[in-house]
Amino acid sequence: MPDDLTRADAATLLAAMEAGETTAVAVAEAHLARIRATDGALGAFLRTLDDTALAHAADVDRRRAAGEAVGALAGVPVALKDILCTRGVATTCGSRMLEDYHPPYDATVVERLAAADAVVLGKTNMDEFAMGSSTENSAFGVTRNPFDLDRVPGGSSGGSAAAVGGRHAPLGIGTDTGGSIRQPAAFCGIVGVKPTYGLVSRFGLVAFGSSLDQVGPMARSVADAAALYEAIAGHDPRDATSIPEDPPPARPALDRGVEGLRIGVVSSFLDGEGVEPGVRARCAEAVERLAALGADVVEVALPHADKALPAYYLIAPSEASSNLSRFDGVRYGLRVDGPTTEEMMAATRAEGFGPEVKRRIMIGTYALSAGYFDAYYLQAQKVRTLVQEDFAAAYASCDALVSPATPSTAFGIGEKVDDPLAMYLNDVFAVPSNLAGTPAMSLPVGGDEAGLPVGLQVMAPHLGEPVMFQVAAALEASLGLDLAPDALDDAAEERA
């Protein structure tokens, strides 16, 4: 057990608490102290919940000492993306529109974290309404990358990724509509998982793209991500898109290795234009390592993958245009008065929404408008079907697929903020799995020439979480990486 509790992963902390070597209160206090010391430089949290976190931790300690039942993650800290409703606690989605919104209920994922006795430390920063790839679009400030504070942590779940990568919490919750878990996980050197669409309830998740959104775990190890996945997955009758069958368990597959598995390398992603040399090299080395571990590695094609990104950027904004119409200044959230109802709504949305949200609402409204629906939205849905068919064909001959998670490592703050197309290209390898509804994850496979983390994407068929975790765990064990973000600690020392 390390002297600094924030250096331990969730499994180590859990074992130490169960053995009486430490307490849930001590673990929570250590992480809250680190947040106080370093989050001024990082900007991962919008708010911490010190009192409720310590009260929950104390209750876990009491029940554990008394021999009473505790949850599967009892006492393990978690950072929660501020897009999931928390009863009585502000849920802003990184937007002025919801700056003072305090939900009257908890999201299902929040309920399941409580049932597992995970200790929620606070709500993390994000791109406004999950629209962005850098966490620069938040109305409440920029989050920075713990490996280089002049670079972005990715987005939209950048706050949770930075919190986990920066040792503010061993576990984090993000959401992934078009790569918003996997891309920041890759940038921050952690594991990030997008489960099969419908495996994790969306009840209480403030919707962006309802046919794409999925809640998922972020962690510093594959085993920790698997444990968090199992805690939050499962059917929820309050979510009409929830899969009714039991979710496939992940942890039993972690020690199976990859010998005998057939793993397809998406060659157009690995060798594609725009992939940085450091990303290509680390991912190619990871593929070679999988082959050395006994996997049958083959090249596969996803013929329509190059159409996935433009299709996504029609489907997602169209759904956002519909979902965000509820923010009208009448029912909840910001209200800016005007002489007429129409002027009040217009003033409310003009002041409440940021530039990127407005951009996507306008794109989506245009794509859904009379005369353009068939030419844009309907065509994008046809492309989505082709992407789904590509994946089905690939999985007919392969157990899992791999590719780079992102074309590049973390880029500089402000570098792409004025170039939306360049920003959107960060998601080029991630969005196909969202369109297909299939699981995918990113795990760190080393660093580029500047020492910035590189993520490998592991993809699997519908409900293929076990084999996805199996491949990731075997590769992680073989690599034996220990990525440490010194930049954050150096900055904290300078501030002190």
The domain segmentation of the chain, as residue ranges, is 5-269+275-302+389-495
pLDDT tens string 410-460: 999 999 999 998 999 999 999 999 999 999 999 999 999 999 999 999 999
User: What distance in Å separates the CA atoms of residue 429 and residue 268, rounded to the nearest whole number?
Assistant: 10
Q: How many CB atoms lie within 10 A of CB 412?
A: 13
Return the pLDDT at 1: 61
Residue 447, strand partner residues: 453
Task: Report how far Cα 354 is from the mean position of its chain's Cα atoms.
Answer: 21
218 has which bridge partners? Answer: 172, 192
End-to-end CA distance of the chain: 26
Three-state secondary structure call for residue 81: strand
Catalytic residue check, 318 = no
| pLDDT score of 493 | 67
In a 13 Å sphere around the CA of 27, the CA atoms on its Cβ side amount to 38
AA identity, residue 245: E
Strands (E), 195-261: 215-219
Packing angle of the helix pair 24-42, 10-18 (nearest 10 deg): 150
Residue 278: per-residue pLDDT: 98
81 is catalytic: yes
Q: How are strands ordered across the β-sheet holding 262-266?
A: 45-48, 119-124, 77-81, 171-175, 215-219, 191-194, 440-447, 453-459, 400-404, 262-266, 296-300
- What is the Cα–Cα distance from 336 to 25, expressed in whole angstroms? 43
Tens of pLDDT, residue by residue over 115-170, are: 999 999 999 999 999 999 999 999 999 999 999 999 999 999 999 999 999 999 99
- Residue reference for tokens 């600094």: 4
pLDDT tens by residue, 473-496: 999 999 999 887 877 877 766 765
Of residues 180, 221, 433, 442, which has the active-site annotation?
180
Phi and psi based region of residue 211 (left: phi greater than 0; alpha: psi -120 to 50; beta: remaining): alpha
Q: How sure is the predictor about 82, in pLDDT bands with cuts at 50, 70 and 90?
A: very high
Instruction: Round to whole Å and give the CA distance between 302 and 151.
Output: 32
pLDDT at 245: 94
Rounded mean pLDDT of the chain? Answer: 96
pLDDT value, residue 495? 63
pLDDT at 228 over 70: yes
What would the pLDDT profile of 256-270 be if each residue is shown by its tens digit? 999 999 999 999 999
Q: CB neighbours of 51 closer than 8 A, spacing ≥ 6?
A: none
Which CATH topology does 5-269+275-302+389-495 take?
A: Amidase signature (AS) enzymes (3.90.1300)
Distance CA 324, CA 341 (A): 17
CB 399 within 8 A of CB 263: yes
What pLDDT score was predicted for residue 66? 98
Q: Does the pLDDT of residue 342 top 90, yes or no? A: yes
HEC sequence for 403-443 = EECCCCCCCECCCCCCCHHHHHHHHCCCHHHHHHCCCEEEE
Calculate mean pLDDT across residues 209-233: 98
Q: CB of 167 within 8 A of CB of 6?
A: yes
User: Does residue 108 contact residue 203 with C-beta atoms inside 8 Å?
Assistant: yes
Query: Among 156, 318, 403, 442, which one carries the catalytic annotation?
Result: 156
Percent of the chain residues topping a pLDDT of 90: 94
50 is written with which tokens? 């010190």
Active-site annotation holds for 321? no
